[in-house]
Amino acid sequence: MDKENNQQETADVNVAKLSDEIQYQDSGIVSKQLIKKSNGNITLFAFDKGESLTEHTSSFDAVAQVIEGEMKFTIGGKPYQVKGSEFINLPANIPHSLSAKEKTKMLLIMIK
């Protein structure tokens, strides 16, 4: 493989610390889409303490990884506490909500 082809193949490569890729906003939720494709997406979130997303459903299966902080998920009416370095799966079409128990950064991976 020549150098030019190798540069084209690696043009979208990025090495970064997830927690440095997004910053908190007072009394808010910040999101940053890292990848968006027709078969799913990967989004990074920063939630201030007490911020939440109301109950909703998604047509995608998803995995939410808490990078730092603590998040309360309610999935199908059942509560789950997820802390930094832990993840939870979110099945498609099941109602769920989430609430930040403290400042929390989370990576959401959704796959169709």
Which residues span the domain enclosing 72? 3-111
pLDDT of res. 14: 86
CATH number of the domain at 27, please: 2.60.120.10
pLDDT of res. 3: 54
Note the pLDDT tens digit of each residue in 42-76: 999 999 999 999 999 999 999 999 999 999 999 99
Tell me, letter by letter, the H, E, C secondary structure of the chain: CCHHHHHHHCCCCCCCCHHHCCCCCCCCEEEEEEEEECCEEEEEEEECCCCEEEEECCCCEEEEEEEECEEEEEECCEEEEEECCCEEEECCCCCEEEEECCCEEEEEEEEC
Number of folded domains in the chain? Answer: 1
Q: With a threshold of 0.75, does the pTM exceed it?
A: yes
pLDDT above 80 (res 105): yes
